[in-house]
Amino acid sequence: MPLTGAEVAKHNSRESCWVIVHGKAYDVTEFLPEHPGGPKIILKYAGKDATEEFEPIHPPDTLDKFLDHAKHLGEVDMNTVEKEAKEESAEEKERQERIKRMPILEQCYNLMDFEAVARGVMKKTAWAYYSSGADDEITMRENHSAFHKIWFRPRILVDVEKIDFTTSMLGTKVDIPFYVTATALGKLGHHEGEVVLTRSAKKHNVVQMIPTLASCSFDEIMDAAEGDQVQWMQLYVNKDREITKKIVQHAEKRGCKGLFITVDAPQLGRREKDMRSKFTDTGSNVQAGSQTDNSQGAARAISSFIDPALSWKDILWFQSITKMPIILKGVQRVEDVIRAIESGVQGVVLSNHGGRQLDFARSGIEVLAEVMPVLRERGWEDRIEIYVDGGVRRATDIIKALCLGAKGVGIGRPFLYAMSAYGQPGVDRAIQLLKDEMEMGMRLIGCSSVDQLNPTLVDTRGLSMHTTSVPSDTLGLSIYDPLVSPKEKAKL
């Protein structure tokens, strides 16, 4: 006989804390102190239905995996659970209003447009999680900005009637030189989560990299693949290597074609925009003083298992437990690319984790411009596949990366935004727009296939100049009258 809402409701305290998720009750009293997101957020739902909050940030197998089965209390008769009269906040009402008037999909002409729409229609906390970066978000913005420092030197009078921008990545033939990179918590943006991206990737024949911190479970995402669709796996390495081993070997068995080990995140970043979005103005603890708050946003809550001790020697171990190609994701300087090659891995992703980890880390594209000349000097440029992610928004960005020597680029946030705003049609259109731009860009730079892209087609002299202007002359500027255009006649 199922439990009733009333029974569950009694266990609404730190001393005895039950919660309902997807129609089942769980006793999480003992789990409270271990919860990576802190006990506070669970206690908010003590004795209540927590499904809506739980759903987007926990894969479906979470409770099975992490909560002792003795604490699984079984079915609840949901008809007996009191519906909370949720009062819609003014903010939420405005959002609902914006959703009603959101632009139609055809009005999105480029990848930035999806972001503009998503910002208006996503929940504030979801937007904050996706869009935030580390510290002052300087690196996050630099990532796209860096592409603006690379200019083209196009060739003319080349027959570009037929353009072929297919390429291969880790042995897989793809339609366009990018892959959908791993991003966490897809259900914050769309109720179906990462499988939406799986379907679009299939449709456009590009590779999807499956995130460790997905909202869907790994198997759900693999299951969503069709035919010979290729997927890769992104891995945060668990402190418990046995768990890691199990995950990796399971992925290999399921057919994953690449293991991308994240090496730029021994600890997940503090993202203040995300933290600030979580803040609710209840109670004051000025007294608390030096204790910093534990509720540091979604990212850190879900990442406590990551091993900060991961080091080069672990790479040998990985090579011993899997035959999948191993790629280091998050390499940030030429010395480490050389070491990666010497370690025998198959690839590196030059990346700063979308600007979400170390602020003032350089953009992947800048690191690429540092790396390739050194490799070419050694004749090593073909010993490894080099990818770049971060800030890619236009096909011209992809072309720039390939001119400089990348095999392909990873794109993450733009597809999350397209999915959050329009679901799969959004992602499909985003990819199609990239393909259209790619065809145009290849033609205009004078290359009919990706192997023709080379460093003489770009001018990167301004790329590595990290400088700012002398601080502005505020007095001087305020007394200068800017020039004006002709004035209209006065209104009568």
Helix (H) or strand (E) run with residue 322 in it: none
Let me know if 353 is a catalytic residue. Answer: yes
Looking at residues 244 to 273 of the shown chain, list those that interact with its own copies (rule: CB under 8 A).
Answer: 263-264, 266-267, 269-270, 272-273
Looking at residues 160 to 219 of the shown chain, list those that interact with its own copies (rule: CB under 8 A).
Answer: 160-161, 203-204
DSSP letter (8 states) at residue 331: E
Name the active-site residue from 353, 387, 397, 422. 353
The dihedral formed by the CA atoms of 125, 126, 129 and 132, expressed in degrees to the nearest 10: -80
Looking at residues 402 to 441 of the shown chain, list those that interact with its own copies (rule: CB under 8 A).
Answer: 422, 424-425, 428-429, 431-433, 436-437, 439-441
| 238 three-class SS | strand
Looking at residues 374 to 403 of the shown chain, list those that interact with its own copies (rule: CB under 8 A).
Answer: 393-394, 396, 400
Among 21, 42, 150, 372, binds its own copies (CB under 8 A): 150
Name the active-site residue from 113, 264, 274, 336. 264
What sections of 204-329 are H helices per DSSP?
218-223, 241-254, 272-278, 297-301, 312-321
Q: 452, 416, 449, 415: which is closest to 434 by C-alpha?
A: 415
Among 24, 245, 444, 455, binds its own copies (CB under 8 A): 444
**70 is a site residue for its own copies (CB under 8 A):** no
Closer Cβ to its own copies, 251 or 310, answer by number: 310
Calpha distance 452→341 (Å, rounded): 25
DSSP result, 137-196 = -HHHHHHHHHHTT-EE----S---SS-B--EEETTEEESSSEEE---S-GGGT-TTTTHH
Task: Please choose, out of 64-72, 101-109, 228-236, 408-416, the segment that lies near its own copies by the rule CB under 8 A.
Answer: 101-109
Looking at residues 295 to 324 of the shown chain, list those that interact with its own copies (rule: CB under 8 A).
Answer: 307-312, 314-315
Looking at residues 317 to 376 of the shown chain, list those that interact with its own copies (rule: CB under 8 A).
Answer: 328, 330-333, 335-336, 357-362
Q: Residue 164's Cα: distance from chain center in Å?
A: 28
Task: Please choose, out of 28-36, 151-159, 180-188, 406-414, the segment that lies near its own copies by the rule CB under 8 A.
Answer: 151-159
Among 11, 149, 190, 407, binds its own copies (CB under 8 A): 149
**141 is a site residue for its own copies (CB under 8 A):** yes
| 55 three-class SS | helix
Calpha distance 35→32 (Å, rounded): 5
Least separation, in Å, of the C-beta of 40 and its own copies?
12
Let me know if 130 is a catalytic residue. Answer: no
Residues recognised as catalytic: 236, 264, 353
